[in-house]
Structure 1
Amino acid sequence: MTAPVIGISAYADHARWGVWDTRATLLPQEYVDAVAAAGAVPVLLPPVANTAGAVPALDGLLLAGGGDIAPARYGAPVGERTAGVQDFRDAAESALLAAALGRGIPVLGICRGMQLLNVARGGTLHQHLPDVVGHDGHRLRLGVFDPHPVTVAEGSRTARALGRTRLEVPSYHHQAVAEPGAGVTATAWADDGTVEAIEYDDTDAVLGVQWHPEMGADPSLFAWLTAGASAGDRVPSR
C-alpha cells in the first residue's frame, strides 16, 4: 500500500547554516521525523499565498507551531506580549485548513496549529497566559519543552487517539484558547484549567493539542493522523 502524504505547514524566517545567513522556509526536524516514523510521507508547505493548491495531493494536514496569530483575526487589539505575528502565514494556513476541511482529510493542529483551528471557527485566544493563570508553567525556560500534566475527557476523540486520559506533555507556549469557536469542544485541560486539546464537532477528522507531541516520546497522535490519512474515505466537514 502506498504511504499517505501528509503536508506540514512550515515557517518562513531568518536562518543560518553553513556559510549562509538568509531567509528560509524551515521546520523543526522533529515534526518531519514523527510523521515519517508513523509511516507517512512528510511534505513541507511554505506559507505562501497559493500553498493551499497542494491540498488535492495530500492525504492529511499537520498545522505546526510558531509565532502568535494576529489578534485582529479574533477581534482583539494587539497585546503587549504578543509577538511573532506573520499575517502571510495566518492567511496561508487558514487557506490550507479550509481546503483540507473541504476535502475531508484529517487535520492535526499542534500549539499554534490548535489555536488556528479555534480562531478559524470564531474562537478567541488568551494573548499572554501567565496573566490569566498567574504562573509561567507552560513556558518555564526559553527553548526548553518542560513537561506538565494534562487530563483528557473520557470518551473523547482525543482520549481514543492517545489511549489514556492522564499524561505528561512537552509544553512551550504563552497563548491558549480562551472561548472555543462554533462547533469546537475542549477535550483536555492542564491542572490550572488551560485548554490543552480541542475537537471539531462536525467531523471526526480534526484534533488540536496545545502541547508539542513531536518533542516527546509518544507517537499516538501521529499514528492517529496517519491512520486517518490512510483510510481513503473523505467526508468534508459541514
Structure 2
Amino acid sequence: MPIARHALDAGLRVRVYSNLFRISEEHWRLLEHPAVRLATTYHSSVEVEHDEVTGRKGSHTATRANIVEAVRRGIGLKVAVLDAGDHQRAERARGELEALGVRDVHVGRVRAVGNAAGAALPSTAELCGRCGDQRAVVLPDGDVAVCEIGRFLTAGNVQGAGPASVLSGPRWAEASASIPRRTGPTACHPDCQPSNSDSCDPGKNDPCDPMGYAPAEPGAPAVAVPALV
C-alpha cells in the first residue's frame, strides 16, 4: 500500500498484482484510483482445482467473489489463466471469467520462473525477448529488474544511486544483452511494446512466446503473468 501510494503521488501509473484472497475496503479505494490497474490469476472454474494449485482452502471462493466485486466497481482488471497442459480446463476458466464480465482475460502456459521454476534455476529463454527494452521494474527492496517476469535478472539498486544511474550503468547493459532477442517473422507482436501503459503482454490472439518455447500451433496463447500474494 505505501509503495503504491508513493508511486501515485509521484504521478506514476500503478499495476497491482494480487491473489484477491483478502481485500479490505482500504484496498478497494486504492484499486478504484484511475491510475491503478489490477491483475490476478484464476487457476480453474472448479473450486477444488483452484484451491489445489494455491494450496489454500477457500481461495477459489474468495478470488472469484473479489473478481465479481472488481467488475462491479468498474476497476481495470486483467486476469491470467495459467495453462499447465489441460487446455479444456483453461478454456472453461476463460469462459467463466468472460461471463462474469471480465474483459481482459489472457490464457498462457506456465513459465518456469518464480514459484513455477521449483528447484530449477530460471532461464532467460522463458522471457519474450523484449525485457529491458524501454522497460524496467523496481522491486520493493529497490533492486532494478528487466521486467516483472524477469525479476531474477537484476542490475543494481535505486537506493542511493537512483534509477538513471542504474539504467545507464554497465550492469544494466550486461543484463539486457543477456536476453535472447527475437527478430524476423517471429518477433513480438506490436502490442508487446514495453512502453505500453498496461503491460508487455501481447494481444489475446497474437502471442509473444518465451524464447525457449515453440507453440504447438500458430496463434496459441503463450503468455502468463504470475500473481503476487
Specify the TM-score bucket, using the shorter chain as the normaliser: 0.3 to 0.5
Q: Pick 1 or 2: higher relative contact order, CA cutoff 8 A, min separation 6.
A: 1
Question: TM-score, structure 2 length as denominator?
Answer: 0.36
Question: TM-score, structure 1 length as denominator?
Answer: 0.35
Higher-Rg structure is 2
